[in-house]
């Protein structure tokens, strides 16, 4: 077993090409195209004086800030972890053991399967139907007496599609009858128009078997600091706290996240930019001759339509100092799929110009 492939490996590419990381335009990582929140940047600069101290292991100020940001959630219903990935691994550590099964809707984030296998449980893949849609009835039919967890990603990575809230609620309800935990990954929910209506974050504490996963690194541009959080009832949060690694969330991550959560101007600007550039990038890539799955989040899944392979295009674009995500490693996809993040107009134009050179029409 090996660690899964992910986008955003800019340091490896920087070393390979012998160029500074900041000279690469990275479309492979789905983070905020505006970069770090100005408030978060200022908070980090002012935090130097407290770095000699250990981090707050309880993340008290950050949990308070998250509770206020999400709404209708108490700090005791929140656990902060070392990025969303850290919370995923904590979830499998707490709720899965050898012989258990975990249902995973595919294609989706590969860390669910990796974390499941690390704890000697068996991942059960359930393919989405055409258009990357969830069929709740089919998923529920895959439940066996050994099923202990279900992973759902909304909006889903890498497809940029969403699951209907009613389908998610139906799965959580049926899973509760059979003592099955559901991890609902909402790490990209801020980028979805009317995402608040789709999210179960504010209701998570009312379910006994639901863990809602959120990220402080995607929408707020803090990927390098690693901070994510889980929302659930107090009993589940207590279980997490009993297993988490001490001081797993560093001081800078906590301070920056508190500041970023209060930066409503920055977040509003981000949402406006994503709505505008998402549509522009979709139309432009379609004109080039790619098929784009209708996107809901800040990234697009593109079918190359036989023009080349994802791995070959990825290599060609590196000559332009551009990184994209080769999606051939995702279950349920193949060599024709790439994923690109929605970025600023200037950066999107750089990608489009390079694609026109590397994917000329016959």
- Which token pair is 35? 């970069």
Note the pLDDT of residue 40.
95
Q: What is the pLDDT of residue 3?
A: 83
Confidence band, pLDDT 50/70/90 cuts, at residue 361: confident
pLDDT at 50: 94
For 81-109, what is the mean pLDDT? 96
Q: In this structure, is the dihedral angle defined by the CA atoms of residues 152, 4, 217 and 335, taken in order, positive or negative?
A: negative
How far, in Å, CA of 164 to CA of 168, rounded? 6
pLDDT digits (tens, 9 = 90+) for 271-322: 999 999 999 999 999 999 999 999 999 999 999 999 999 999 999 999 999 9
Structural domains in the chain plus CATH codes: 10-30+265-358 (3.90.1150.10), 38-261 (3.40.640.10)
pLDDT of residue 315: 95
Which pLDDT band holds residue 180 (cuts at 50, 70, 90)? very high
Predicted confidence band of residue 217 (pLDDT cuts 50, 70, 90): confident
> pLDDT at position 310, please?
96
Could you read off the pLDDT of 45-80 as tens digits, one per residue? 999 999 999 999 999 999 999 999 999 999 999 999
The confidence score (pLDDT) of residue 268 equals 95
Question: Model-level pTM greater than 0.85?
Answer: yes
**In which band, very low, low, confident or very high, does the pLDDT at 178 lie, cut at 50, 70 and 90?**
very high
- Say which range, 126-135, 165-174, 205-214, 294-303, has the weakest mean pLDDT: 126-135
Percent above pLDDT 90 for the chain: 94
- Other beta carbons within 10 angstroms of residue 234's beta carbon come to 11
pLDDT (tens digit per residue) in 310-353: 999 999 999 999 999 999 999 999 999 999 999 999 999 999 99
Each residue of 306-333: b (16+ CB within 10 Å) or e?
ebbbbeebbebbeebbbbbbbbbebebb
Per-residue model confidence as pLDDT tens digits over 221-235: 999 999 999 999 999
Neighbours of 357 (CB within 10 A): 12
- Strand order through the sheet with 181-185: 78-81, 228-231, 210-215, 181-185, 147-153, 101-106, 122-127
User: pLDDT tens digits, residue range 343-358?
Assistant: 999 999 999 999 999 9
Binned at pLDDT 50, 70 and 90, residue 5 comes out as confident
Strands (DSSP E) contained in 265-356 are 291-292, 299-303, 322-323, 325-326, 337-341
What is the spatial distance between Cα 23 and Cα 335, in angstroms, rounded to a whole number?
Answer: 27
What is the pLDDT at residue 87? 97
Measuring CA to CA, how many Å separate 312 from each of 209, 306, 335? 43, 12, 9
Using the predicted structure, report yes or no on whether residue 2 has a pLDDT greater than 80.
no
pLDDT at 362 over 70: no
């Amino acid at each position: 077993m090996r660690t899964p492939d992910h986008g955003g490996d800019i340091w490896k590419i920087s070393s390979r090409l012998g160029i500074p990381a900041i000279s690469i335009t990275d479309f492979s990582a789905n983070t905020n195209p505006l970069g770090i929140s100005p408030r978060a940047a200022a908070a980090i600069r002012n935090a130097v004086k407290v770095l000699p101290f250990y981090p707050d292991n309880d993340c008290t100020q950050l949990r308070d800030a998250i509770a206020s940001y999400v709404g209708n959630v108490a700090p005791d219903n929140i656990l902060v972890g070392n990025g969303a990935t850290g919370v995923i691994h904590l979830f499998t550590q707490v709720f899965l053991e050898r012989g258990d099964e975990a249902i995973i809707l595919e294609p989706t984030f590969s860390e669910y399967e990796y974390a499941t296998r690390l704890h000697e449980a068996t991942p059960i893949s359930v393919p989405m139907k055409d258009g990357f849609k969830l069929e709740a009835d089919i998923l529920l039919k895959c439940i066996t007496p050994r099923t202990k967890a279900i992973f759902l990603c909304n909006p889903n990575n890498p497809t940029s599609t969403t699951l209907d809230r009613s389908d998610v609620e139906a799965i959580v309800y049926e899973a509760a009858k059979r003592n099955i935990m559901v991890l609902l990954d909402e790490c990209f929910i801020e980028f979805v128009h009317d995402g608040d209506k789709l999210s179960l974050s504010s209701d998570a504490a009312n379910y006994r078997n639901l863990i809602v996963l959120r990220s402080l690194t995607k929408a707020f541009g803090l990927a390098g600091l690693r901070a994510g959080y889980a929302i659930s009832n107090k009993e589940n949060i207590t279980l997490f706290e009993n297993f988490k690694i001490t001081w797993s969330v560093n001081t800078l991550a906590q301070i920056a996240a508190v500041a970023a959560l209060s930066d409503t101007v920055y977040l509003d600007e981000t949402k406006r930019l994503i709505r505008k550039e998402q549509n522009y990038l979709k139309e432009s890539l379609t004109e080039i001759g790619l098929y784009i799955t209708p996107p809901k989040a800040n990234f697009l899944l593109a079918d190359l339509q036989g023009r080349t392979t994802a791995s070959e295009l990825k290599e060609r674009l590196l000559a332009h100092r551009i990184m994209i995500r080769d999606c051939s490693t995702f279950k349920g996809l193949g060599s024709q799929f790439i994923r690109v993040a929605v970025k600023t107009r200037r950066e999107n134009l750089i990608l489009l110009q390079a694609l026109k050179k590397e994917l000329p029409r016959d």
